[in-house]
Amino acid sequence: MAKTARPASEAGPRPGHELSNDRLLAMYRVMAFARAIDERCLSLQRQGRIGFYVPASGQEAAQIGCAAALTDDDWLFPAYRELGLALWRGVTFRTLMDQFLGTSADRLKGRQMPNHYGYRERNLVVASSPIGTQITHAVGAAMAMQRRRAPQVSATFFGDGATSSNDFHAGMNFAGVYRTPTIFFCQNNQWAISLPRERQTRSATLAQKAEAYGFPGVVVDGTDIHAVFDAVATARERAVAGEGPTLIEAQVYRFGPHSTSDDPHRYRSDADLAEWKRRDPILRLREELQNSGTLTETGESELQDAIRREISETIAAAEGAPPIDPATLFDDTFAQRTPRLEEERAEFERLVREGVIRP
C-alpha cells in the first residue's frame, strides 16, 4: 500500500531530532497498518487459518519511533513481536503473510514459526524463540562494526522478561567492556507472559541495570513517539561517535495476549488495560496530527479504507499460494547437495510418490 511506505529521503534522524509533520504522518500510517494487521491476524489464528501469532498492539510508537531514528545500514536483532520494525524497514505485508502461512511463497521455506522472520536485504536478523539470544548476537555484530570502523549500530529488541536472561547480562557486560555501538531497546510491556514486572526484579527501573555495566540507561514513555525517537537518535549518535552502548527502557503496555496461546484475562485486570488504553500511542499521534491540520477526518477514513483493502487482498493472494515442496527439506545445508543428500532426497521423493510419507 503506497500510503504506508515511508519516503526514501526520510531515512535516519534529523539534526536536533525534530520530526516534521510529514514524517509523523508517514510514521502514523505504518503504526495504523501494524495495528490493523494485528487485529486481522489474531482473527485468522482463531479461525485456524494461521497456526500462531504474536501481537504488538500498544507497542507501535516504541517500535516505529525506534526504527525511524536508525538508518537502513544499521542492523536490527528483533525478538518475535517487532512487526513495526519490519514494516518500517520496507518488508511488505505479503512477504510477512507468506511467512505466517509457511507456503511455497515463504522466503524462509516454512522453517520458522510464524512471526519468526528476518530478511538479509533489510538488515533484519531472523528472530528465534529462546529468550534473549538476540542480545548477544547484536553485541557480536556491533564488535564487528567497531573493528571495521563502520558508522553503523546494532539495535536489539527484547521485553522486560528478557532482562532476567543470561544473554541479557552477558551481552550487556561485553558491550560495556568493549564499548560497542549497540542500542539495547527494552520494550517493558509490564508482563513476561503472566509474570508482572514487579516480581522480576528489585530494581526501581530496568534501565538502571546499565549502570552496573558502565554505560547509560534511559527510561522513556514508549507511547510517545517523540520521546522514543529522541532517545534512540541520541543513543545512535553516542554509538557512532565511539562512546559506547545505551540501554533504553520504553515503558509500554501489551494490549493483547502474549501470543495466541495465552489468555491475559487470567492474570491481569480490565481496569489496568483500560488505564493504559487511554494512552494508546496511535490515538495520541492521531490527535496530534489532527490538531496540526496534517491529518483530516477524510484522510483518516481514506487511510483506513486503503489499509483494510490491502490486508484483505494480500491475505487472499497469500492463501492462494500452493504448499511448500517438502523436498526442500534437503536444501540449503550445503551450497551444493552432497551425493549422500542426493540419495536421501531421491528416496524421500519416492516414498512421497508411493504415499508412504504424506507431506
Are 253 and 290 part of one and the same domain? yes
Confidence of residue 18 (pLDDT cuts 50, 70, 90): confident
CA 158/CA 130 separation, integer angstroms:
11
* Number of domains forming the structure of the chain: 2
Are 348 and 290 part of one and the same domain? no
Are 304 and 331 part of one and the same domain? no
Better-scored residue on pLDDT, 329 or 168: 168
Confidence of residue 84 (pLDDT cuts 50, 70, 90): very high
Looking at residue 17, its pLDDT comes to 83
Looking at residue 301, its pLDDT comes to 98
Are 124 and 187 part of one and the same domain? yes
Looking at residue 12, its pLDDT comes to 47
Quick one: CA dihedral 259, 260, 265, 266, positive or negative?
negative
Are 334 and 188 part of one and the same domain? no
| Average pLDDT for 335-342 | 95
Which residues participate in catalysis according to the annotation?
Answer: 254, 258, 267
CA 116/CA 99 separation, integer angstroms:
8
pLDDT digits (tens, 9 = 90+) for 97-153: 999 999 999 999 999 999 999 999 999 999 989 999 999 999 999 999 999 999 999
Are 301 and 199 part of one and the same domain? yes
Looking at residue 128, its pLDDT comes to 86
Are 349 and 262 part of one and the same domain? no
Looking at residue 1, its pLDDT comes to 40
> Is pLDDT of 333 > 60?
yes
> Is pLDDT of 2 > 50?
no
**Residue with the three cell numbers 527439506:** 329
Closest CA to 100 of 47, 143, 64, 150: 47
CATH number of residue 102's parent domain: 3.40.50.970
Beta bridge partner(s), residue 250: 187, 220
Give this prediction's pTM.
0.92
Confidence of residue 335 (pLDDT cuts 50, 70, 90): very high
Looking at residue 3, its pLDDT comes to 35
> Is pLDDT of 296 > 80?
yes
Confidence of residue 359 (pLDDT cuts 50, 70, 90): confident
pLDDT digits (tens, 9 = 90+) for 240-259: 999 999 999 999 999 999 99
pLDDT digits (tens, 9 = 90+) for 202-245: 999 999 999 999 999 999 999 999 999 999 999 999 999 999 99
Are 64 and 196 part of one and the same domain? yes
Least confident of 6-20, 40-54, 78-92: 6-20
Domain extent for 124: 2-322
pLDDT digits (tens, 9 = 90+) for 163-183: 999 999 999 999 999 999 999
Whole-number mean pLDDT of the chain?
94
Are 271 and 133 part of one and the same domain? yes
Looking at residue 16, its pLDDT comes to 63
> Is pLDDT of 13 > 80?
no
Are 20 and 50 part of one and the same domain? yes
Better-scored residue on pLDDT, 2 or 126: 126
Are 114 and 25 part of one and the same domain? yes
> Is pLDDT of 7 > 70?
no
Are 269 and 349 part of one and the same domain? no
